[in-house]
């Protein structure tokens, strides 16, 4: 099929994320991807600034990950997980437990980040229901977050600036606090913590859990906050009998400079959600991990099981490639790579602060963000980056990169030029 015909059929039949039907803007046709480069059908090669939305931390066609999938294919690609188990899933669960903060000992494997958040919420609600406290069924969060596109996750996304306003009145009504102020380096504001406590205390009898993205709020606004707010949250949740859920679907597996972002704060949640980079971006897999306290609580209930069981739960191919991705991360090389990328992005993006129309430039771990004073014309900005040989996907007022950890210094410099071109096309 030639690229023109492919695009015609794409427009006619294929939904894209947050897209209309029939399609209006033509997506770019990718033919292959290797290392940090996407190869388009017209032969252009683009350095990938997005790591396929946080996921492809080792780049594409990594020989170790390719081999893991091929080896597993030779044994079995999928079997149901009800009544059966297998080494790839059990190995992965054990490794996640070992890597996770605190006492997160029980792993629910599922297909996508949104479902991991659904499962985490079900764990929290069922924990309180089993304890005879079914009034505790609401969630609290801070505004500006993003937790996925199914119903519970949508209900804890930003209710105002966010993408799910359409569903106002349909979604479960949750409790919102403002996002933590100040950025990653600003000191913790005791006034903010006191206000947070007032909110949580007032709603504690109906709150099952607080759910937040630790240190980096991603798709809700690419905002960073001081880890001290997570310590405060842990204390407040303990004091007011509320479970704490960390959504590390974007931040997990090294992106912020720690293996899990919770480590910046030295605290552990009661439930942890992971996804995206779990398989190095190869296959769709996510997980919700909980503590023995949560699992035991659920087991003591009138319905002593966690009533969730996706068809593709524990998919062996996905688990095998996740184990191989953890092998790569186990070498520890990611730490130096993330620090190197962080320094490269900080140096390369800093000059954009002086550009009129740029409101902020911020870097944390292997994440670089330029915020503009007004909305970014997404297609024009992306095209400007493509002209520099760079793939970006800006949204709202944000032009940002979170590249694969294997991106070398010259490609980081190229990414920064791509961001600069996108900024120029936007302000
Ligand atoms: N939580 C966070 C923090 C995310 O960034 C995302 C996806 O961007 C999700 C949840 C949802 O994950 P998925 O797209 O795999 O459903």
- Model confidence pLDDT, tens digit, residues 165-216: 888 889 999 999 999 998 888 999 999 999 999 999 999 999 999 999 999 9
Domain membership of residue 66 (yes or no) is no
Give CA–CA dist 162/369, Å, rounded: 18
| DSSP single-letter state for residue 255 | T
Atom of ligand 1 nearest to the CA of 213: 3
Domain of residue 57, CATH code: 3.90.1150.10
| 146 annotated as ligand-binding | yes
Give CA–CA dist 288/212, Å, rounded: 14
Domain boundary at 330, 358, 383, which? 330
Express each pLDDT in 358-400 by its tens digit. 999 999 999 999 999 999 999 999 999 999 999 999 999 999 9
Whether residues 326 and 339 share a domain: the answer is no
Domain boundary at 276, 305, 330, which? 330
Tell me, using a 6 A CB cutoff, whether residue 283 lines ligand 1.
no
Domain membership of residue 317 (yes or no) is yes
Q: Which of these, 28, 23, 25, 27, lies nearest to 39 by C-alpha position?
A: 28
Express each pLDDT in 294-339 by its tens digit. 999 999 999 999 999 999 999 999 999 999 999 999 999 999 999 9
Torsion of CA 101, 102, 108, 112, to 10 degrees: -30
Domain membership of residue 69 (yes or no) is no
Domain membership of residue 68 (yes or no) is no
Higher pLDDT, 34 or 2: 34
Whether residues 272 and 353 share a domain: the answer is no
Domain membership of residue 266 (yes or no) is yes
Whether residues 117 and 252 share a domain: the answer is yes
Arithmetic mean of pLDDT, 242-251: 98
* Residue 160, pLDDT above cutoff 90: no
Whether residues 342 and 206 share a domain: the answer is no
Domain boundary at 330, 364, 396, which? 330
Which of the four pLDDT bands, split at 50, 70 and 90, describes residue 239?
very high
Arithmetic mean of pLDDT, 219-224: 95
Which of the four pLDDT bands, split at 50, 70 and 90, describes residue 229?
very high
pLDDT at 255 (0 to 100): 98
- Distance, CA 114 to ligand 1 centroid (Å)? 6
Which of the four pLDDT bands, split at 50, 70 and 90, describes residue 1?
confident
pLDDT at 281 (0 to 100): 98
Predicted TM-score (pTM) of this structure: 0.98
List, in order, residues 6 or more apart from 180 with CB less than 8 Å away. 142, 189, 192, 225, 226, 229
153's enclosing H/E stretch is helix 151-155
Domain membership of residue 43 (yes or no) is yes
- Distance, CA 225 to ligand 1 centroid (Å)? 19
Determine what percent of the chain is predicted with pLDDT higher than 90: 95
Mutate to test the pocket of ligand 1, among 151, 218, 219, 249 (most ligand atoms within 8 A of CB): 249
Atom of ligand 1 nearest to the CA of 276: 15
Whether residues 89 and 224 share a domain: the answer is yes
Give CA–CA dist 181/184, Å, rounded: 9
Mean pLDDT of the chain: 97
pLDDT at 384 (0 to 100): 98
Whether residues 212 and 358 share a domain: the answer is no
pLDDT at 267 (0 to 100): 98
Whether residues 95 and 183 share a domain: the answer is yes
Contact yes or no for 290/109 (Cβ under 8 A): no
Q: Which of these, 250, 124, 138, 230, lies nearest to 179 by C-alpha position?
A: 230
Separation of first and last alpha carbons in the chain: 38
* Residue 163, pLDDT above cutoff 80: no
Whether residues 296 and 244 share a domain: the answer is yes
- By annotation, the residues acting in catalysis are 18, 146, 247, 276
Query: Number of folded domains in the chain?
Result: 2
Mutate to test the pocket of ligand 1, among 50, 163, 256, 276 (most ligand atoms within 8 A of CB): 276
Tell me, using a 6 A CB cutoff, whether residue 247 lines ligand 1.
yes
Chain centroid offset of residue 238 CA: 25
Whether residues 232 and 287 share a domain: the answer is yes
Domain membership of residue 70 (yes or no) is no
Whether residues 357 and 306 share a domain: the answer is no
Residue 103 in tokens: 């006492």
Q: Look up the domain containing 289 and give its range.
A: 75-330
Residue whose CA is at the smallest distance from ligand 1 atom 12: 113
pLDDT at 72 (0 to 100): 98
Contact yes or no for 37/411 (Cβ under 8 A): no
Whether residues 298 and 341 share a domain: the answer is no
Q: Which of these, 127, 85, 45, 111, lies nearest to 300 by C-alpha position?
A: 127
Contact yes or no for 207/233 (Cβ under 8 A): no
Domain membership of residue 67 (yes or no) is no
Domain of residue 210, CATH code: 3.40.640.10
Whether residues 345 and 326 share a domain: the answer is no
Question: What are the CA-CA distances from residue 300 to residues 156, 303, 304, 306 (Å)?
Answer: 28, 8, 6, 11
């Amino acid at each position: 099929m030639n690229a023109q015909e492919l695009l015609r059929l794409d427009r006619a039949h294929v939904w894209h994320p947050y897209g209309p039907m029939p399609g209006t803007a033509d997506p770019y046709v990718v033919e292959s991807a290797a290392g940090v480069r996407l190869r388009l059908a017209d032969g252009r090669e683009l350095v990938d600034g997005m790591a396929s939305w946080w996921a492809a931390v080792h780049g594409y066609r990594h020989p170790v990950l390719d081999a893991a999938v091929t080896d597993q294919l030779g044994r079995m690609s999928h079997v149901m997980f009800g009544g059966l188990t297998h080494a790839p899933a059990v190995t992965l669960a054990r490794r996640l437990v070992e890597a996770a903060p605190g006492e997160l000992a029980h792993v629910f494997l599922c297909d996508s980040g949104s479902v991991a958040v659904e499962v985490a919420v079900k764990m929290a609600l069922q924990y309180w229901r089993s304890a005879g406290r079914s009034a505790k069924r609401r969630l609290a969060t801070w505004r500006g977050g993003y937790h996925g596109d199914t119903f519970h996750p949508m209900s804890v996304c930003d209710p105002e600036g966010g993408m799910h306003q359409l569903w106002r009145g349909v979604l479960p009504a949750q409790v919102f606090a403002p996002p933590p102020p100040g950025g990653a380096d600003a000191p913790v504001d005791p006034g903010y913590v006191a206000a947070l406590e007032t909110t949580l205390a007032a709603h504690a009898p109906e709150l099952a859990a607080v759910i937040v993205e630790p240190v980096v709020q991603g798709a809700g606004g690419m905002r960073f906050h001081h880890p001290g707010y997570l310590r405060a949250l842990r204390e407040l949740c303990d004091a007011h009998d509320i479970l704490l859920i960390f959504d590390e679907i974007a931040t997990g597996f090294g992106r912020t400079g720690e293996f899990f972002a919770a480590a910046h704060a030295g605290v552990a949640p009661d439930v942890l959600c992971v996804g995206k980079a779990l398989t190095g971006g190869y296959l769709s897999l996510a997980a919700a991990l909980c503590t023995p306290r949560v699992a035991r609580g659920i087991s003591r209930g009138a319905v002593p099981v966690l009533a969730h069981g996706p068809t593709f739960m524990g998919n062996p191919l996905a688990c095998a490639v996740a184990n191989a991705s953890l092998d790569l991360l186990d070498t520890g090389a990611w730490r130096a790579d993330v620090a190197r990328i962080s320094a490269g992005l900080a140096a390369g993006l800093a000059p954009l602060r002086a550009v009129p129309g740029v409101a902020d430039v911020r870097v944390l771990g292997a994440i670089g963000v330029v915020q503009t004073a007004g909305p970014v014309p997404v297609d024009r900005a992306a095209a400007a980056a493509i002209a520099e040989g760079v793939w970006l996907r800006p949204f709202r007022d944000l032009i940002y990169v979170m590249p694969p950890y294997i991106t070398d210094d010259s490609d980081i410099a190229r990414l920064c030029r791509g961001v600069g071109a996108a900024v120029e096309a936007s302000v």
